[in-house]
Amino acid sequence: MTCERTNRKIAIVGGGPGGYVAAIRASQLGASVTLIEKDSVGGTCLNRGCIPTKVLLKTARLLDDIKNSDIFGVRVKNAELNWEGLTKRKDEVIDHFVAGVTSLLKGNNVEVLHGKARMRSSRALEIFLPDGAIRILETDSIILALGSLPTVPPIPGLDLSGILTSNEALSLDRPPRSMMVIGGGVIGVELASAFASFGADVTIVEVAEEILPRYDADLVTLLRATLKRKGIKIETSSRVLKVDPHDDIYRVALESGEGAGKKVVDVEKVLVCVGRRPNTKDLNLDNLSVKTDRGRIVVDEKMSTSLDGVYAIGDCASQFMLAHVASTEGEVAAENAMGRDAKMSYAVIPSGVYTEPEMAIVGISEKEAVEKGLNAKVGRFSLSSNSRAVIQGQPQGMVKIVADGSTGEIWGAQMFAPDATDLVMEIALAMRSEATLDEVIATIHAHPTVSESIREASLDVFQRAIHALPLQV
């Protein structure tokens, strides 16, 4: 590990996965680091995002497994959700990681200041401390890691008290009997899936023609079928017109673009998941000429803003609102603030949807390859022919590999498979290290594993899959 003692001062605003990772990296490089956080370290990811949603989804998966246990030869009587137990576990997991981040920061000699920061100049911050005092912090560089906030569209009724965003959905007193999820993106689909497993009658309303518009259509079709099997209703090409409170329910008026006209749905809870906006208000960015684009801080590949010595990372600046992207940008910004020449590359960004089975993608899809005019070959492998997936009772998935058929260069992969979010990393590493399909194929994959389906999909690019019937010519 490099350890250059330089005494350079770096101030980081925001202690989410962008900010705390930047703090640790800057400290490793010898900076004297102050991290300012107005809430709890770990940011959205630990406190209101990645971690609590996955705790809910773990319990959802367990409940679904118990419901389906008969097919595995296990009879379970009277399994029921213990909401207090789940809430307690969620809070314990969050506390565990918040304490972990706190001790990592301490162990790396990062000073953590609790308070709200505002920029005074490119070299100074005002910090509003909880006791009402204001502290001025002079520094050599600033890294802004301010995160994002849920967007609530201006639809009549969505400003009513009791309407949920993902923040409130993660701390309900009890699971609702029915829920409308407005927005069929990753967060909406994950929460819809969890609450359906907890017994709620869930409807997803999505304005686009399909849920998860960024994901591969073949795989979304498979996911949609599993969501429907869980009883989730999906209204695509549909928009919410208004929400009215009615006794102890909400009456939601919808308009469907698929010729079904208008309809009204009564639900106990309405959850808005239509996206997130950068949290860049109140920082004094405009007065300091920090360039923004619709609220997002504009940065270059070094994560530098338009103001010399000021960097921005994560959801407040990035095109990708993902924790691992925020962290990588944090390392890049910290290195540049310490005089190195680091550049951010977005060529290989894995991401996932933590449904059951999971969906994961990296690189480009078949559709994107066509749009880019690439002569892509696509290899497919159905998990109904993968022994591990069948043993696990999850044969409904598929792996797709998008590649240059002549050179074997891998351009992307999409998978709907058990633990796909881990599985996708094989292709991410192959792409990053410029390995071709030949290397993936030459790698002996352990049996029985779901990873064998990656090798089979790679073989299918050359019509050589062993465990799939050849195409009849």
Ligand X SMILES: Cc1cc2nc3c(=O)[nH]c(=O)nc-3n(C[C@H](O)[C@H](O)[C@H](O)COP(=O)(O)OP(=O)(O)OC[C@H]3O[C@@H](n4cnc5c(N)ncnc54)[C@H](O)[C@@H]3O)c2cc1C
- Give the alpha-carbon dihedral of 172, 354, 180, 213, to 10 degrees: 150
CA distance 270 to 169: 10
Minimum distance, C-beta of residue 259 to ligand X, in the bound complex (Å): 33
Please identify, among the stretches 146-154, 242-250, 285-293, 298-306, the one whose residues bind ligand X according to the rule CB under 6 A.
Answer: 146-154
Would you say 148 or 236 has its CB closer to ligand X? Answer: 148
* 50 binds ligand X, rule: CB under 6 A: yes
Residue of 177, 117, 178 whose CA lies nearest to 146: 117
Q: Is 145 in the site for ligand X (CB under 6 A)?
A: yes
- Taking the CA atoms of residue 433, residue 313, residue 420 and residue 376 in that order, the dihedral angle to the nearest 10 degrees is -50
Q: Are the C-beta atoms of residues 41 and 105 closer than 8 Å to each other?
A: yes
Using alpha carbons only, what angle is made at residue 211 by residues 190 and 222, rounded to the nearest 5 degrees?
80
Counting residues that bind ligand X (by CB under 6 A) gives: 35
User: Which CB atom, from 227 or from 437, has the smaller least distance to ligand X?
Assistant: 227
- Per CB under 6 A, 39 contacts ligand X: yes
Rounded to the nearest whole angstrom, what is the least distance from the CB of residue 396 to ligand X in the complex? 22
* 53 part of the interface to ligand X, by CB under 6 A: yes
What's the DSSP call for residue 34? E
Looking at 43, 188, 379, 412, which residue binds ligand X (CB under 6 A)?
A: 43
350 near ligand X, rule: CB under 6 A: no
Closest separation in Å from C-beta 429 to ligand X: 18
3-state SS assignment for residue 402: strand
Nearest approach, Cβ of residue 56 and ligand X (Å): 10
Considering only residues 315, 331, 358, 456, which one is a binding residue for ligand X as defined by CB under 6 A? 315
Complex with ligand X: residue 45 or 290, whichever CB lies closer: 45
CB of 129 to ligand X, least distance (A): 11
| Interaction of residue 120 with ligand X, rule CB under 6 A | no
Question: How many angstroms separate the Cα of 31 from the Cα of each of 10, 140, 150, 311, 380?
Answer: 7, 10, 33, 15, 49
Determine if 16 is a binding residue for ligand X (CB under 6 A): yes
User: Whole-number minimum distance, CB 439 to ligand X, in Å?
Assistant: 27
Dihedral class, residue 304 (left if φ above 0, else alpha if ψ from -120 to 50, else beta): beta
**Angstrom distance (rounded) from CA 69 to CA 49:** 30
Report how many helices (DSSP H) and strands (DSSP E) the chain contains, helices first: 13, 24
Q: Binding segment for ligand X among 145-153, 177-185, 285-293, 431-439 (CB under 6 A)?
A: 145-153
17 counts as binding ligand X under rule CB under 6 A:
yes
Contacting ligand X (CB under 6 A), which of 112, 179, 267, 321?
321
Q: Of these, 302, 324, 445, 467, which contacts ligand X (CB under 6 A)?
A: 324
Of 355 and 453, the one with the shorter C-beta distance to ligand X is: 355
Q: How far apart are CA 298 and CA 157, in angstroms?
A: 33
Rounded Cα distance, 302 and 311, in Å: 8
Nearer to ligand X, 145 or 265 (CB): 145
Q: Vertex 76, ends 73 and 79: CA angle to 5°?
A: 145
Of 181 and 243, which has the nearer Cβ to ligand X?
Answer: 181
Q: Which is nearer to ligand X, 119 or 440 (CB)?
A: 119
> Up-side HSE of residue 207: CA atoms within 13 Å toward CB?
10
Q: Which residues contact 107 (CB under 8 A, 6 or more apart)?
A: none
Q: How far apart are CA 445 and CA 465, in angstroms?
A: 14
Give the closest residue to 219 by CA, choosing from 401, 348, 63.
401
Structure tokens at 145: 């890691």
Enumerate residues 6+ apart whose C-beta is below 8 A from 172.
164, 269
Which of 28, 34, 166, 355 binds ligand X (CB under 6 A)? It is: 166
| Among 56, 181, 204, 326, contact with ligand X (rule: CB under 6 A) | 326
SS3 156: coil
279 belongs to the binding site for ligand X (CB under 6 A): yes
To ligand X, the closest distance from the beta carbon of 203 in angstroms equals: 19
Q: Which residue in 105, 112, 143, 322 binds ligand X (CB under 6 A)?
A: 322
| CA dist., res. 203 & res. 225, Å (int) | 14
Active site residue 447: yes
Nearer to ligand X by Cβ, of 89 and 116: the residue is: 116
- Span 176-215, contacts to ligand X by CB under 6 A: 187
The footprint of ligand X (CB under 6 A) covers 13-19, 36-39, 43-45, 48-50, 53, 116-117, 145-148, 166, 187, 279, 283, 314-315, 321-324, 326
Please give the positions annotated as active site: 447
